Amino acid sequence: MSYSLVLDEPAHGDKVEELDGLKFVISDSLYKMSQGFKIKTEQKWGQTYISIRPNRVDSSGGDCNTCSSCG
């Protein structure tokens, strides 16, 4: 499963998490389906990288670790 990031304002019932001044918004239904998310930041080469992973990973084999398209 993949997720899209967009700039948006929270709607009624959305979950909001703030990290390093950035607000992440997720619909309540997606939050419940994924059992929440882990948001991590990492500093490398003068840049900040953000990774967002669901707590519940799809057991059908669609996990990001199953293909080589990202290197």
Tokens of 65: 């670790």
70: in domain: no
pLDDT in tens, 33-56: 888 888 888 889 999 888 888 888
22: in domain: yes
Angle at 38 between CA 36 and CA 27, to 5 degrees: 40
Question: How far apart (Å, rounded) are the C-alpha atoms in residues 34 and 52?
Answer: 12
Q: Tally the domains of the chain.
A: 1
Inform me whether the pLDDT recorded for 66 exceeds 80.
no
pTM: 0.57
Inform me whether the pLDDT recorded for 71 exceeds 70.
no
2: in domain: yes
Expressed as residue numbers, the domain containing 23 is: 1-55
